[in-house]
Structure 1
Amino acid sequence: MTSLPWLETDELWFPPAEEALEDPDGLLAVGGDLSADRLLLAYRNGIFPWFSDDQPILWWSPNPRCVLIPGEIHVSRSLRRTLNQRYFRITADQCFSRVIRLCASTRAEGTWITDDMISAYSQLHRMGVAHSIEVWNPANELVGGMYGVALGRCFFGESMFSLETNASKVLMVHLANQLRVWGYQLMDCQVESSHLLSMGARTIPRTEFLSILRACVDRKPDQPDWAFSWQWPGPEV
């Protein structure tokens, strides 16, 4: 396999995302740490960490990249009926710790969300950069959620869980609508899945993705308090 750059913990840098391997798709570098400064540098440059407990930290920038443009969210007829019933209640930043831990523990295929990852993203949450979105049923039970990173007018979705039918889809509609209201240009979904594609996500070349980042990560969203006091409109928006 082609030799990959090894990142030392005392040096804050990444190779250009364009230098990522084609096989495995997007693998760019190894090592470093999960400090807030390194994570923010990674996201600003289209890079994210993805590894398991028995591996060193692996950094990725796949090509193509799966994204959802907020105004392109697809709402099927059946999902529209679910939204109109207002069965679920959506909140944001109410229980970040529970959301990220449920994202880790509810994946049947295992998880890359290690204890170190939980600690790192919890730090980003305390800084006001990482956010959680929660889905509650009428019994006030947490039945769905997502966490991710917000920089400028880009939201980088990290992981999602769903314990009730349609919980994740309702979350996606609410999130996409709110991001559109705030003038966000994209939601990064990283790698495509049938679920994401059914919701309107699509893949774009990495060059296009990086171009959007350069134009948007330093632009404030369209809201008075851009540090994210998230308020949610109804699903009819």
Structure 2
Amino acid sequence: MLPFDGPTWLAILDQYNQAIWPLHGMAALFVLVSIAMAFFSGRFAGRAIGLLMGVLWVWIGLTFFGGSLAPYHFAAHWLAGVFVAQGVMMVFALTVMGRGAFAWPGGWAGLLAVVLMFYAVVAYPLVGLALVDTSWSQLSYVGVAPGPTMLLTLGLLLLGYPRPPLILAIIPCLWALVTGYMAWELGMPLDYISAGLGIVAFVLLVVRRFRREERRLFR
């Protein structure tokens, strides 16, 4: 069981958002540049996305889990380490090693990628604002909060070319499972949407990774 309830979670988000404001704008810029770069194939796009998204994952690990959540959850520092590790892996794999390019794949993968990115950037906070009695400071924003950043990352990885770097999707998928658990524990049914989208995205990433047609085509 979680050591806090739904109102406490919203209070944590409130404290965090007000403490880092107006860095939401910088995070949004990183996000929009990453999305734009993902639709251009080539190693440079992959290197840029790895750097920008890596910075965001490290930021969330250090400031949200290592800072705002730490007084409320005994495992916050472990979670901080996991998010920092994800950021470092993205920088190392995509930016340093250059082992990732991005392009529009079409089909279900392309459609789900668009849905994930739209939900992470636009719908995630707006749905919460419209359907739940919360203020702007109690919402989760892409680039600075774990939920929408997880969805954005999976959406970007679905655009991986010629095959998505599956290892980079493991931690986001695990956080999707955690999101579903938190939705149940905290009584926040809207988070089931993001959890479900994350799990479906991971399944589709696995299918794309090992699909025979892509392996023959890009061997």
TM-score by length of 1: 0.21
- Determine which structure has the larger strand proportion and give its number: 1
- Determine which structure has the larger helix proportion and give its number: 2
